[in-house]
């Protein structure tokens, strides 16, 4: 089972981060061609991400590419670059229905066949960002054998719900969406990722939310990056891994269970 406790978001137009992100050794690296890149930089970012995917330094880390929506002028171009570049996973933003996943899968299959990649080699992660996506989460999670995870994107979801995120940490506005996405993922036997933590300067607050996500059952959580470099990606990786590491009590319990099961009856 692949661990995805820490996922480093890298803006696709940031040449410096593209050339060095592998040194932080996160569980996964997500190259972002969507929200992190302005429209005038989309073409340049796509080319840079393609080149990064082809670099030998990224062969030992799981690579994810967040493309633009397929209905935009950038979506299919992003997908071509991601699949041909060898990305392990494509993240589809604003997934509202299972049909969105099936459409993406058909395009991926076509591109794999055209470029010689084994069909099925490219996996899919869906981002749930609306009320429709939450309601359809079960169907989305089970829409394709390529699916490895669904993620809740809190900002756009809350905009769609005509509300905003609480400042006291209680976040009742996210309760139903978190539960729905998590249950859909568990029913489909795939991973679930909690909403991104947006305060890049608050490492303590990030760790609090990571622990909440773990207790709820999410496989991992990410923190949006400070592209000015004031918040080191290494710190986030360590915080996430420490939060998801088993406690001594959990290790002892697992050891006892293993001995019990292996003992002759």
Instruction: Over range 41-54, report the average pLDDT.
Output: 97
Instruction: Please give the torsion angle defined by the CA atoms of residues 13, 147, 62 and 181, in that order, rounded to the nearest 10 degrees.
Output: 80
Question: Partners of 127 in the beta sheet?
Answer: 151
CATH number for the 7-262 domain, one of 3.20.20.60, 3.30.1330.10, 3.30.930.10, 3.40.50.300?
Answer: 3.20.20.60
Residue 229 has pLDDT above 50, yes or no: no
* pLDDT on residue 254: 57
Q: What is the dihedral of CA 199, 202, 203, 208, to 10 degrees?
A: -80
Q: How confident is the model at residue 260 (pLDDT cuts 50, 70, 90)?
A: low
Residue 14 has pLDDT above 50, yes or no: yes
| pLDDT value, residue 171 | 82
Chain Cα centroid distance, residue 84 = 20
Contact of 209 with 221, CB cutoff 8 Å = yes
- Residue 124 pLDDT grade (very low, low, confident, very high; cuts 50, 70, 90): very high
pLDDT band at 210 (very low <50, low <70, confident <90, very high): confident
Which residues face 147 on adjacent strands?
Answer: 124
Question: Bigger pLDDT: 205 or 29?
Answer: 29
Mean pLDDT, rounded, of the chain: 85
Please give the structure tokens belonging to residue 175: 């309760």
* Token code pair at residue 68: 């633009």
More confident residue, 18 or 6: 18
Mean pLDDT, range 124-138, rounded to an integer: 98
The percentage of residues in the chain with a pLDDT greater than 70, rounded to a whole number, is: 80
Helix or strand (DSSP H, E) at 206: helix 203-216
Tell me the pLDDT tens digit for each residue of 145-160: 999 999 999 889 999 9
220's CB contacts (< 8 A; 6+ apart) are: 4, 5, 6, 7, 27, 191, 193, 194, 213, 240, 244
Has residue 26 got a pLDDT over 90? no
Of 16-25, 91-100, 247-256, highest mean pLDDT:
91-100
∠ at Cα 54 (120, 45), nearest 5°?
A: 100
More confident residue, 47 or 242: 47
Residue that wins the pLDDT comparison between 4 and 175: 175
Tokens of 210: 């990571």
What tens digit of pLDDT does each residue of 157-208 get? 999 999 988 876 678 899 999 999 999 999 999 999 998 776 666 777 777 7
pLDDT at 200: 63
Task: Let me know if 59 is exposed, middle or buried by CB neighbors in 10 A (0-12, 13-18, 19+).
Answer: exposed
Sequence ranges of the domains in the chain: 7-262
pLDDT at residue 264 in the model? 55
pLDDT at 239 over 90: no
């Amino acid at each position: 089972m692949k661990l995805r406790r820490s996922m480093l978001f890298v803006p696709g137009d940031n040449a410096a981060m593209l050339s060095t992100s592998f040194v932080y050794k996160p569980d996964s690296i997500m190259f972002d061609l969507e929200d992190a890149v302005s429209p005038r930089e989309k073409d340049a970012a796509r080319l840079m991400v393609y080149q990064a995917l082809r670099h030998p330094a990224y062969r030992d880390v799981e690579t994810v590419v967040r493309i633009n929506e397929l209905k935009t002028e950038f979506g299919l171009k992003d997908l071509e670059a991601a699949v041909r570049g060898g990305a392990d996973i494509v993240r589809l933003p604003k997934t509202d229905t299972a049909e969105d996943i099936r459409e993406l899968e058909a395009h991926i299959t076509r591109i794999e066949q055209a470029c010689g990649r084994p069909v099925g080699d490219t996996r899919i992660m869906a981002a749930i960002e609306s009320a429709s996506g939450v309601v359809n989460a079960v169907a989305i999670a089970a829409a394709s054998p390529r699916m490895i995870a669904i993620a809740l994107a809190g900002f756009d979801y809350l905009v769609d719900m005509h509300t905003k995120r609480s400042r006291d940490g209680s976040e009742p506005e996210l309760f139903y969406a978190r539960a729905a996405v998590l249950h859909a993922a568990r029913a489909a036997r795939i991973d679930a990722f909690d909403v991104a933590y947006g305060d890049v300067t608050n490492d303590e607050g990030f760790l609090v939310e990571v622990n909440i996500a773990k207790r709820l059952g999410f496989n991992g959580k990410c923190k949006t990056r400070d592209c000015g470099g004031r918040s080191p990606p290494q710190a986030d990786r360590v915080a996430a891994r420490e939060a998801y590491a088993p406690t001594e009590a959990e290790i002892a319990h697992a050891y006892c269970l293993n001995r019990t099961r292996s003992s002759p009856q």
